[in-house]
Amino acid sequence: MTKTAFITGISGQDGSYLAELLLGKGYHVVGMVRRSPQDVYPRIEHLRDRITLVQADLTDQAGLIRVLSASQPDEVYNLGAQSFVAASWEQPVLTAETTGVGVARLLEAVRLVCPHARFYQASSSEMFGNAATTPQDENTPFHPRSPYGVAKAFGHHLTVNYRESFGLFACSGILFNHESPRRGREFVTRKISRQVACIRLGSEEQLRLGNLHARRDWGFAGDYVEAMWLMLQQESPRDFVVGTGVDHSVADFVEVAFAHAGLDWRRHVLIDETLKRPAEVDLLRADPTKACEELGWKLSVEFEALVRMMVDADTEEVNQAKGNA
Ligand code: NAP
Ligand code: G4F
């Protein structure tokens, strides 16, 4: 029988890769989008005739109940969130409402409408924040450093709580940074790859960045959606850390990206103090042993290949845009 998967945040980076993965496995995919007057969702336009889109919002309880009732999913993936850490200091209440309380609304809707559906919560390594130990695994204590990290910690604990209180098949995937050519342009990796492409093609000269010393565990988003699906295929619901186990600095990313374009980053990168955060997360590195051993999860793209993939994709996109101008 065809299974139905319900994805919040389908218009985002991960939502688009997850929809592709699930379509390939024969699922009926229902994607929840926020109303858009243009009715255009660029990352999933190529899938539009193969998926069902429904309109609702994580801040609206009744809407979530309505769309889940209508679709009666077997699996629910909660990827929707205000996901940009820097914006969470500018909009802490919106971030709490969407990224935190939104999880409560969706879990409540699942409990009332489709309690047998399996539930995936998109948790984040930002919950570790100022972590006392490195690498971080499923037992590392949380010390979030941003309103976003705090909201994600609420969503994580509530997912565990609904599993323990109501017996929901609910899993929290604690994912480290994952990137791709579909990454939002405000995140540092895509900001770098986009600007490198513009500099290479002569339309820009400078790249303004904040803290070059922060270290992250960066992987490819296409690999991480596989881990989400694997979590919901297990016999029992559990939580997993997913990452590469290797960290690099923002400066490393810059260096590889500029070098790939044949450029010297020192001639183009400026430090802009206003881009530094009120509280920084200095170092995140995963210990993905549990995901590798219990889910059989594997990486397919290493750091340098990821940087090159993003620079090449942006170069092609910027070149095409110039040709069309
Ligand atoms: P993304 O590209 O920013 O996508 C976020 C999605 O959430 C978008 O589809 C957005 O819709 C939707 N959304 C925002 N506010 C909403 C609301 N009020 N109601 C319903 N939907 C809403 O993020 P991503 O990189 O794909 O990440 C997916 C999830 O994983 C997020 O929850 C993120 O916090 C989490 N996560 C990401 C990473 C990472 O490195 N990428 C790591 C750990 C955890 P619009 O298109 O309408 O804005
Ligand atoms: O790319 P970022 O904005 O990602 P961040 O804050 O690590 O969050 C991402 O990963 C989380 C998983 O750990 C997700 F949960 C979250 O949703 C998101 O996907 O920043 C990475 C690092 C930070 O230390 C930041 O201070 O890059 C540093 N950075 C330096 N200059 C910059 C910039 N970040 C941005 N966005 N823009 C800059 O100009």
- CA–centroid distance, 180 to ligand 2, in Å, is 14
- CA–centroid distance, 325 to ligand 1, in Å, is 31
Distance CA 105, CA 153 (A): 15
Told to judge if 125 belongs to the known catalytic residues of this protein, a careful annotator would answer no
Confidence (pLDDT) at 324: 75
Q: Which residues pair with 242 in a beta bridge?
A: 175
Biggest CA-to-CA distance, the chain:
58
pLDDT, tens digit, 9 for 90 and up, residues 198-252? 999 998 999 999 999 999 999 999 999 999 999 999 999 999 999 999 999 999 9
Nearest CA to ligand 2 atom 34: 188
Indicate which residue of 77, 148, 162, 224 is catalytic.
148
Using DSSP's 3-state secondary structure scheme, residue 234 falls into coil
Q: Which domains does the chain carry?
A: 4-178+218-242 (3.40.50.720), 184-216+248-284+301-324 (3.90.25.10)
Best of 216, 249, 310 for a ligand 2 pocket test (most atoms within 8 Å of beta carbon):
216
- CA–centroid distance, 324 to ligand 2, in Å, is 31
Told to judge if 41 belongs to the known catalytic residues of this protein, a careful annotator would answer no
pLDDT, tens digit, 9 for 90 and up, residues 272-303? 999 999 999 999 999 999 999 999 999 999 99
The dihedral built from the CA positions of residue 263, 194, 96 and 117, taken in this order, carries a sign that is: negative
pLDDT bin (cut points 50, 70, 90) of residue 322 is confident
